[in-house]
Amino acid sequence: MPGQQAASKTEPAPVEIRLAHSPDSDDAFMFYALATHKLSTPGYKYTHILSDIQSLNEAALAETYDVTAISFAAYPELRDKYVLLDCGASFGEGYGPIVVSTKAVKGQELAGKRI
């Protein structure tokens, strides 16, 4: 109708969270669901920054990113600037993610299995 303005339905801009991590497979695994939008997080937009751990340590000193991977050696200097997430860590027997099972499983038994 002339003289009437349509009600504007504008969505608030999503909150951007900058996630800095290495391009290694263990970090890729930890952030896969967010990076591929398989996890619904209405109101949030995640920007992934991939870099080597030394560069991430240096960026963390300047508080560059909202969430960042750092080395364990850098944590004492950063503990007042960041809190540790209760998920993720890039260490284990050998290195990287660990498969947790209710029974002992050898690496070759995992071939072809969905994890």
Q: Is residue 66 part of a domain?
A: yes
Q: Is residue 72 part of a domain?
A: yes
Q: Is residue 58 part of a domain?
A: yes
Q: Is residue 40 part of a domain?
A: yes
Q: Which domain does 59 fall in, by range?
A: 15-77
Q: Is residue 84 part of a domain?
A: no
Q: Is residue 65 part of a domain?
A: yes
For residue 68, what is the domain's CATH number?
3.40.190.10
Instruction: Report which of 60, 93, 91 is spatially closest to residue 78, judged by C-alpha positions.
Output: 60
Domain count, the chain: 1
pLDDT in tens, 61-108: 999 999 999 988 898 999 999 888 766 666 555 655 567 778 888 888
pLDDT of residue 21: 92
Mean of pLDDT over the chain: 83
Q: Is residue 45 part of a domain?
A: yes
Q: Is residue 55 part of a domain?
A: yes
Does residue 49 surpass a pLDDT of 90? yes
pTM above 0.75, yes or no: no
